[in-house]
Structure 1
Amino acid sequence: MPGTERTWAGTTLADRRATRRRRLLDAGLDLLGGADGAVVSVRAVCRTARLTERYFYENFTDRDDFVVGVYDHVVSLAHQVLVDAVELAGPQPRQRAEAAVSAFVTLVLDDPRKGRVLLLAPFADPALRNVGVQRLPMFADLVREQLSDRVDEADRTMTATALVGGVANLFVAYLSGTLDVPRERLTAHCVRLVLGAEALHS
């Protein structure tokens, strides 16, 4: 039928392209988020994904575009996880804080690759040195929306930005091994930080 996408082995061209892109992003997680700090090159990505360079360039213009794509993939996951956690939490600040922190901890510690990509890679990979700073406001906005509006917008923005930076640095230290505390203690401390920020505006 005209307008109907042709299929091969039960999948459309769009499906196959999406599958290849997922395989490339998964390879990027393995390389960029690996504990051994593996070098991310087009050849290494294709070898890990078991795809030819043709399919790499079908999705990304070059190596740096790929690295940013992997980073933005994890940023989107983290942002959505936090949004969902707050929406499903109860109305009280403690409920929202515990839900958001627990969801973030699960994302970045249950799969440390994601934590390393999100929090460590911007310090290590030149392609991400400015990108990480550019993405910070989207997380600060989530925090700002949860703060009381009894103070002006500038104060809410500064508090939210400081909180996001502080929590991020805690997780950087934890993932890099310089902060040696149990996961439960890290989680509880982050919840107290979030509630402390809320108290500033209550």
Structure 2
Amino acid sequence: MPEQPRKKRQREPYQLPAGRHGLSRQFVVANQRQRILAAVADVCSAAGYVAMSVEDIVVTSGVSRRTFYDNFRGKEDVYLAAYDEVTQQLLRHVYESYEAADGLVAKIRDSLGAFLSFIAEEPAFADMCIVEVMAAGSIAIERRNQTMAAFATMIEKAAADELPKAKLPPALTAETLVGGIYEVVYSRVLQGRGDELPALLPDLLFSVLLPYVGQETATSLLKNERRRSKPKAKASSKPADE
């Protein structure tokens, strides 16, 4: 039986065309770096940080080992670079929602919703930054802690801007809340259920707001958010007289 011709591997949108392309050296270097960082997320999600190797990243990104080592010192270095890039994207996305909203409730709701949506829509990034960061060493965990501190600061600022000082809960409250949200997100991502996270917004919003606005207001907001998040019933296509 004659050997079947191999199918050509489809070129990814971020990959450069083969052969002479006339692109600037600066563009090529930036493209190669982005391909390496994207490959880190894909490999880390599929294999886990511990099993991930430089060879895996090189093969997935389609660059040479020399190109890899021109950009990064090794596995930990490239992981930290990829982690920083993704968390910068995430924080920018969350900050934009936070700044565009008006008032404590809206700021917390919109920024928390932006966070949950980002994680749900980027499963490889979620695996890399939420789950595998715990296996990537002390420096990576410290970067994670800094990201969580940034979220806690947002909550504290939104509360301080709206509530009198006498009504603010203890300073540790925001940090504790962010830690609890992280555990909820971690467990879903670990189980491959990251797509469920946006649906948890009403309950997580209740948990965050409770220490700041009290039981009655938080419960009312919870009910309103659950109503808002319910999918609208589709209009019947049947004639009214059937």
Scaled to the shorter chain, the TM-score interval is: 0.7 to 0.9
CA gap of 1:185–1:60, structure 2 versus 1, over 3 A, is same
2:183 aligned residue: 169
Instruction: Give 5+ residue unaligned stretches, structure 2.
Output: 1-19, 215-242
Higher alpha-carbon Rg? 2
Equivalence map 1:8-47=2 (5 Å) = 9-34=21-46, 36-37=47-48, 39-47=51-59
Number of residues of Structure 1 aligned to a counterpart in Structure 2: 191
* Aligned partner letter, 1:107: F
Equivalence map 1:1-202=2 (5 Å) = 9-34=21-46, 36-37=47-48, 39-89=51-101, 91-126=102-137, 128-148=140-160, 150-151=164-165, 157-177=171-191, 182-199=196-213
* Aligned partner letter, 2:113: S
Determine the C-alpha separation between the residues in 1 that align with 2:192 and 2:60.
Answer: 30
* Aligned partner letter, 2:123: P
Deviation, 1:93, is 2.4
Q: Which moved more, 1:118-127 or 1:104-113?
A: 118-127
Q: Which moved more, 1:77-86 or 1:141-150?
A: 141-150
In angstroms, what is the RMSD of aligned CA positions?
Answer: 2.8
Q: Which moved more, 1:66-75 or 1:20-29?
A: 66-75
Determine the C-alpha separation between the residues in 2 that align with 1:189 and 1:179.
Answer: 17
Q: 2:44 touches 2:52 (CA, 8 Å); kept in 1?
A: yes
Determine the C-alpha separation between the residues in 2 that align with 1:178 and 1:70.
Answer: 21
Q: 1:31 touches 1:45 (CA, 8 Å); kept in 2?
A: yes
- Once the two structures are superposed, what CA deviation does each residue of 1:135-168 show, in whole Å capped at 9, x if it has no partner? 432222222221225338x966422211211111
Q: 1:28 touches 1:70 (CA, 8 Å); kept in 2?
A: yes
Deviation, 1:125, is 2.5
Determine the C-alpha separation between the residues in 2 that align with 1:185 and 1:9.
Answer: 46
Determine the C-alpha separation between the residues in 1 that align with 2:192 and 2:69.
Answer: 38
Determine the C-alpha separation between the residues in 2 that align with 1:31 and 1:178.
Answer: 16
- Once the two structures are superposed, what CA deviation does each residue of 1:148-200 show, in whole Å capped at 9, x if it has no partner? 25338x96642221121111111011112298995454121121122224327
* Aligned partner letter, 1:172: Y
Secondary structure at the counterpart of residue 109 of structure 1: helix
* Aligned partner letter, 2:110: A
